[in-house]
Amino acid sequence: MVHTDVHVVRRRARRVGARAAVHAVLIGYSLLAVGPALLVVANSFKERQAIFDSPFSLPTPSTWDTSGYETVFDEASFPTYFRNSLMVTLLSVLGVIVVSAMAAHALSEFDFRGRGLLRIYLLAGIMVPIRLATVGLVELFGSLEMINTLWALILVYIAMGIPLGIFILSQFFAQVPTELKQAARVDGAGEWRVFAVTLPLVRPGLGAVAVFTMLPVFNDLWFPLVLAPGESTRTMTLGAQQFLGQFETNWNAMLAALSLAIVPVLVLYVLFSRQFLRGLTEGAIK
Amino acid sequence: MRLAPAFAASSPRRRRLRSPGARALLFCAPALVIYSTFMVWPLLQSLRFALLDDAGDWVGLDNFDKLFGDPLWSERFWRALRQNMQFFLFHCLVQNPVGLTLAALLTVQRLRGANVYRTLIFVPTTLSVVIVGFAWRLILSPLWGIVHTPLLGRTSTALPTLSLISVWQWIGIPMIFFYATLISIPKELIDASRVDGASAWRTFWRVSFPLVLPMFGVITIVTYIANMNAFDLVFTVQGVQAGPAYSTDLLGTLFYRSAYGSVQGGGDRAMGATVASATFAVILVGLLLFFLVWRRRVRTYQL
Amino acid sequence: MQTRKLMAGVLVAGLLAAACGSGDEDAGGGGGGDGDAVTLVVESWRADDKAVWEDTIVPAFEESHEGIELEFQPTAPTEYNAALENRLDGGEAGDIIACRPFDISLELFEAGHLEAVDDLEGMDAFDDVARSGWVTDDGATTYCVPMASVIHGFYYNKDVFDELGLEPPTTTEDLHTVLDAIAADGAATPIAQGTVDQWDIAEVDYTGIGPNYWKGEEGRQALIDGSAQFTDPEYVAPFEELATWGQYMPDGYEALSYDDAKVLFTNGDGAIFPGGSWEITGFERDAGFELGVFAPPLPTDGDPCYISDHVDIGMGMNADTEHADEARTFLEWVASEEFAQLYSNELPGFFSLREGAVEVDNALADDFVSWRDDCESTIRLPAQKLNRGDPAMWDELYAVSSEVVNGTLTPADAAQRLQEGLDSWYTPSE
């Protein structure tokens, strides 16, 4: 009896120990993951000297200082940058979702000659980094007189997101039971109605596409730098980067600007992440 | 799916309905138009610019001759390519095992706070490269940071350091994919293995790992394409000169510098397009290798 | 479900409307004036001066020039050249352009982006030297109004020097004595500088102390006309001097940036900061100790001295501007004495290029300028003609200078590389 008890206890201890180890590793990595961002945010609330004296300490009542934020809101056009980023991101995501959903629906629903070819054509874009097309894009938008417009960015990002969007959504559309669609048709529904009926069923996929599109678009530095660097069309990422150059010596303002840049994407990510994860686990892997 | 035409014939309102091909085209039209106009066409144009000189006159393959033949350009290109490959290898060697480990840990039965861990680990991926660059420059600064060796200032350590920072930023994505793959493994397989007396460790290696292996391939090729395109981090941290002594120069930064010039200006659009075309070729080669070698060899299981 | 769809629809409509709205605002370069006032957008790399422009310079101009408003829109200095060219090509650049000196702006002029300014009122107050940075090779056309020059030197922490009983050095031997003394004391780092940004080592260090070795203009012209090579001793010697500076820099200096160095200096942790007169305002604001400056040290006692007195910034006119008349008015104001006074005093360290003395009320600025009396002036070595090919001299100098200080390249190899790069495309000219 005693012998068995010891074994049970030992096994349980080992299990608890193993679990503790798992938690330890995950906690450790989580700290590594969020540490740097926390560092930026914490220091943005400290006065200049305190930042250099002890960069790794939290702000205390004596070192608390919001002058950086004041500078940012006074001098820089951060509200404009924020509005630009938000608009470009939301419209791009919307564009990708609508356009990809339509195409994915068509590719999984209709059988026609050339379907395979069309699919390859559209999906090939996944493997081609759109930045390589920059020279051509600058040329194109230049001739359309669309340099320094937000629409130039939006169109590029939609184009960029289409291949992956169609790829992900195709998986989901393929899983929609055909009986549902047939039933709708028998009831006299037009193609649009059929499409509208299937949409709610692919919601996780839409979430996945939203996240995959939103992240690279909001944080993109390249296209705003090359296509829309003007003051009024600057996005938040570009604005923060320019800001760093301008206020090289104003560390408070720099840190404040960066901290502000963290918030929007984090919020958007938290909003979409549940759908995103469902989307991945339910469909994308197949 | 040959049902649509049959129904079309049967309902009276639908006599003038177009064929499935036409309807498909209608639905695909917006995607096709935007994709072709703003991605395919400019890409072809960019490739075409590589065949012209800076003034716009046709020069055929002269620019490529210059890129590979001229000692100055050749040195730049091969150095950037070699360094890009090093960047990629380092990236993969760290990212894949760590990503898989984290994912595996997250799948532990009834792990408290798994959601929280998952979200936190994904945070770096939501950060813009400006923040990533700034924060890590601070942490690695010999003056203000915790690491006193000038990792970003020495040619031997600058590129690997940037590689690690890049892994830190992007590991959330492979981790999520591995995670999704792991949790879609039917529980019966795991249970069967455990019932047979295998430890959790062994179960992982014998059952889960082979089923995750195909995902390694996907992650690797996606990382490859992303890395061949990398620019943001180097640009933000080391500047357009990709120092020290061009040791952090990648194909992306070379492209930017060729097309738009460095600190003192002076870009050459033709050579920029040439570098871009060469990068495209490098990516295609990688893709070919992936499809011919990996996909053939590794069996994908229908989960 | 219905409400959500409605809200979504409204959101989309709102976004679309807003996006279209902002699209219109961006048409053209800077013509955003409403009603009567014309707004001129001023492009510049002097982001640090933004406050001064907005608080003093712009109001001064707008007060005396009704109907014209100014918007100062700087870009980060390391990106200015590339970003400006991009904007000019795309037709989206500002109306007034701050001009980098020599080859860079010449390229812009030859590409048709800048207007000639010879006929502007007040241009006769600028002599050939002043115009040299913004004039065509034949000297016939000037395309930017010269605004200011900057001088290179060494800032030092007087408190640290006094404590250790040190005097500002005159020769390189003195310099090393001073550096060794500070290093031995250990309280402060002798040289507050890092090599990761590269340009400071190349522009401030190499072309700052170099003129004393290659005899200023003589040496510079010799490279241009081909009678001298980088591998000659007078061009290698400054590298040899720089190679000894690494040990006096902070630990891990290979990863320290120009900004880090500035903070180190103003914090009092670095004793000497190799820098240019453009830092006067910033340092006076941030340093909590008494500041001093000394001229680049001489290789041998008694040598004639040379200083890097570089025509640095001018103002030009975007050839595609929609407000040519107003732009010309502004540039004429820039050429005036009123502006010279204002600028030199608001931004001490930027020395007006206008003929005739400008009163500057700043001790450090006076120190810098006083060197002109004893020393011959020269511009930065690679600035003229040597950047027109590939590899551009500046790019090469950036890379090799920092490598020399890092100890990864020998001075001889550095010079060799520079000369080889030059030989690959450059044909000597007068």
Smallest CA–CA distance, residue B210 to chain A, in Å, is: 15
What mean pLDDT is predicted for residues A222-230?
A: 83
Q: Are residues C167 and C210 in the same domain?
A: yes
Task: Please identify, among C368, C387, C403, the residue that sits at the C-terminal boundary of a domain.
Answer: C368
> Is B140 in CB contact (< 8 Å) with chain C?
yes
Q: Which domain holds residue B37?
A: 3-49
| Chain B environment of A25 (Cβ under 8 Å) | 101, 105
Task: Quick: pLDDT tens for C288-316.
Answer: 899 999 999 999 998 999 999 999 999 99
| Chain C environment of B151 (Cβ under 8 Å) | 255
Q: Are residues C95 and C214 in the same domain?
A: no
Burial B61-76 (b: 16+ CB within 10 A, else e): ebbbebbeebeebeeb
Q: Do B241 and C81 count as a contact with CB atoms less than 8 A apart?
A: no
pLDDT of residue A112: 81
Instruction: Give the model's confidence band at B108: pLDDT under 50 very low, under 70 low, under 90 confident, else very high.
Output: confident
Smallest CA–CA distance, residue A159 to chain C, in Å, is: 18
Q: Are residues C406 and C293 in the same domain?
A: yes
Q: Are residues C172 and C39 in the same domain?
A: no
Q: Measure CB to CB from residue C253 to each of B150, B245, B262 and give the nearest one.
A: B150
Q: Are residues C241 and C344 in the same domain?
A: no
Q: Are residues B11 and B127 in the same domain?
A: no
Look at residue B15 and tell me if it is in a domain. yes
For the cut 60, the answer to whether the pLDDT of residue C21 exceeds it is: no
CB pairs under 8 A between A and C: 77
Q: Give Rg (Cα) of chain C.
A: 24
Least confident of B147-156, B275-284, C211-220, C352-361: C352-361
Look at residue C34 and tell me if it is in a domain. yes
Among B54, B74, B143, most C C-beta atoms within 10 A, so best to mutate, is B143
Instruction: Give the model's confidence band at C13: pLDDT under 50 very low, under 70 low, under 90 confident, else very high.
Output: low
Q: Which domain holds residue C160?
A: 150-309+371-423
Look at residue C67 and tell me if it is in a domain. yes
- CA A238, A240, A241, A243 dihedral sign is positive
Look at residue B216 and tell me if it is in a domain. yes
Q: Are residues C289 and C160 in the same domain?
A: yes
Least confident of C30-44, C323-337, C393-407: C30-44
Q: What is this model's ipTM?
A: 0.83
Task: Quick: pLDDT tens for A124-167.
Answer: 888 787 888 887 888 898 888 888 889 999 999 999 999 989 98
| DSSP of C286-302 | H-SS-EEEEPPPBSSTT
Give domain A74-284's CATH architecture. Orthogonal Bundle (1.10)
Contacting C residues, span 76-135, partner chain A, CB-CB under 8 Å: 76-79, 83, 86-87, 89-92
Give the span between the Cα atoms of C133 and A280, in whole angstroms: 60
Q: Are residues B131 and B23 in the same domain?
A: no
CB pairs under 8 A between B and C: 113
Q: Are residues B18 and B158 in the same domain?
A: no
B191: amino acid identity, one letter: D
Smallest CA–CA distance, residue A1 to chain B, in Å, is: 23
Give the span between the Cα atoms of A65 and A13, in whole angstroms: 49
Instruction: Give the model's confidence band at C27: pLDDT under 50 very low, under 70 low, under 90 confident, else very high.
Output: very low
pLDDT of residue C9: 56
- For C98, the 3-state DSSP assignment is strand
Domain total of chain B:
2
Give, as one character, the DSSP assignment of residue C140: -
> Is B246 in CB contact (< 8 Å) with chain C?
yes
Look at residue C20 and tell me if it is in a domain. no
Smallest CA–CA distance, residue A22 to chain B, in Å, is: 6
> Which residue does chain B place closest to C255, by CA atoms?
B153
Q: Which chains touch C (3 or more CB pairs under 8 A)?
A: A, B
pLDDT of residue A185: 78
User: Residue C337 maps to which CATH number?
Assistant: 3.40.190.10
| Residue for token pair 């030197």 | C153
Give, as one character, the DSSP assignment of residue C204: I
Q: Are residues C276 and C168 in the same domain?
A: yes
Q: Are residues C282 and C410 in the same domain?
A: yes
pLDDT of residue B11: 47
For the cut 90, the answer to whether the pLDDT of residue A211 exceeds it is: no
Look at residue B36 and tell me if it is in a domain. yes
Q: Measure CB to CB from residue A162 to each of B35, B117, B260 and give the nearest one.
A: B35
Q: Are residues B82 and B219 in the same domain?
A: yes
| Chain C environment of A249 (Cβ under 8 Å) | 48, 259, 262-263, 282, 286
Q: Are residues C158 and C68 in the same domain?
A: no
Q: Do B265 and C85 count as a contact with CB atoms less than 8 A apart?
A: yes
| Chain A environment of B283 (Cβ under 8 Å) | 127-129
Look at residue C346 and tell me if it is in a domain. yes
On whether the CB atoms of residues A208 and A276 are closer than 8 A, the answer is: yes
Q: Do B21 and A135 count as a contact with CB atoms less than 8 A apart?
A: no
Contacting B residues, span 53-92, partner chain C, CB-CB under 8 Å: 72
Q: Are residues B40 and B84 in the same domain?
A: no
Q: Do A262 and B272 count as a contact with CB atoms less than 8 A apart?
A: no
Give the span between the Cα atoms of B230 and B211, in whole angstroms: 30
Task: Quick: pLDDT tens for A240-273.
Answer: 777 766 666 677 888 888 888 888 888 877 777 7
Look at residue B192 and tell me if it is in a domain. yes
Q: Measure CB to CB from residue A261 to each of B131, B260, B269 and give the nearest one.
A: B131
Q: Are residues C130 and C192 in the same domain?
A: no
Among C10, C11, C15, most A C-beta atoms within 10 A, so best to mutate, is C15
Look at residue B57 and tell me if it is in a domain. no
Give the span between the Cα atoms of A160 and A127, in whole angstroms: 11
Look at residue C48 and tell me if it is in a domain. yes
Instruction: Give the model's confidence band at B37: pLDDT under 50 very low, under 70 low, under 90 confident, else very high.
Output: very high
Q: Do C15 and A229 count as a contact with CB atoms less than 8 A apart?
A: no
On whether the CB atoms of residues C197 and B239 are closer than 8 A, the answer is: yes
Residues A128, A131, A135: CA angle, nearest 5 degrees: 120
For the cut 50, the answer to whether the pLDDT of residue A30 exceeds it is: yes
Look at residue B291 and tell me if it is in a domain. yes
**pLDDT, mean over chain C:** 88
Q: Do C251 and B151 count as a contact with CB atoms less than 8 A apart?
A: no
Contacting B residues, span 41-70, partner chain A, CB-CB under 8 Å: 41-46, 48-49
pLDDT of residue B9: 45
Q: Do C82 and B243 count as a contact with CB atoms less than 8 A apart?
A: no
Q: Are residues B41 and B113 in the same domain?
A: no
> Is B144 in CB contact (< 8 Å) with chain A?
yes
Give the span between the Cα atoms of C40 and C29, in whole angstroms: 9
**pLDDT, mean over chain A:** 83
| DSSP of A77-120 | -HHHHHHHHHHHHHHHHHHHHHHHHHHHHHHHH---TTHHHHHH
Q: Are residues B113 and B77 in the same domain?
A: yes
| Chain C environment of A225 (Cβ under 8 Å) | 83
Smallest CA–CA distance, residue B296 to chain A, in Å, is: 18
On whether the CB atoms of residues A217 and A89 are closer than 8 A, the answer is: yes
On whether the CB atoms of residues C142 and C133 are closer than 8 A, the answer is: no
Domain total of chain C:
2
Domain spans of chain A, in order of start: 2-43, 74-284
Look at residue B246 and tell me if it is in a domain. yes
For the cut 80, the answer to whether the pLDDT of residue C357 exceeds it is: no
Task: Quick: pLDDT tens for A48-95.
Answer: 878 877 778 888 888 888 888 888 887 767 788 889 998 999 999 999
Look at residue B60 and tell me if it is in a domain. no
**Full 3-state SS string of chain B:** CCHHHHHHHHCHHHCCCCCHHHHHHHHHHHHHHHHHHHHHHHHHHHHHHCCECCCCCECCCHHHHHHHHCHHHHHHHHHHHHHHHHHHHHHHHHHHHHHHHHHHHHCCCCCCCHHHHHHHHHHHHHCCHHHHHHHHHHHCCCCCCCCCCCHHHCCCCHHHHHHHHHHHHHCHHHHHHHHHHHHCCCHHHHHHHHHCCCCHHHHHHHHHHHHHHHHHHHHHHHHHHHHHCCCHHHHHHHCCCCCCCCCCCCHHHHHHHHHHCECCECCCHHHHHHHHHHHHHHHHHHHHHHHHHHHHHCCCCCC
Among C97, C395, C409, C410, most B C-beta atoms within 10 A, so best to mutate, is C395
Q: Are residues C168 and C81 in the same domain?
A: no
> Is C31 in CB contact (< 8 Å) with chain A?
no
Instruction: Give the model's confidence band at B12: pLDDT under 50 very low, under 70 low, under 90 confident, else very high.
Output: very low
On whether the CB atoms of residues C353 and C311 are closer than 8 A, the answer is: yes
Q: Are residues C167 and C65 in the same domain?
A: no
User: Residue B142 maps to which CATH number?
Assistant: 1.10.3720.10
Task: Quick: pLDDT tens for A91-132.
Answer: 999 999 999 999 999 888 888 888 888 888 988 888 787 888
Q: Do A249 and C286 count as a contact with CB atoms less than 8 A apart?
A: yes
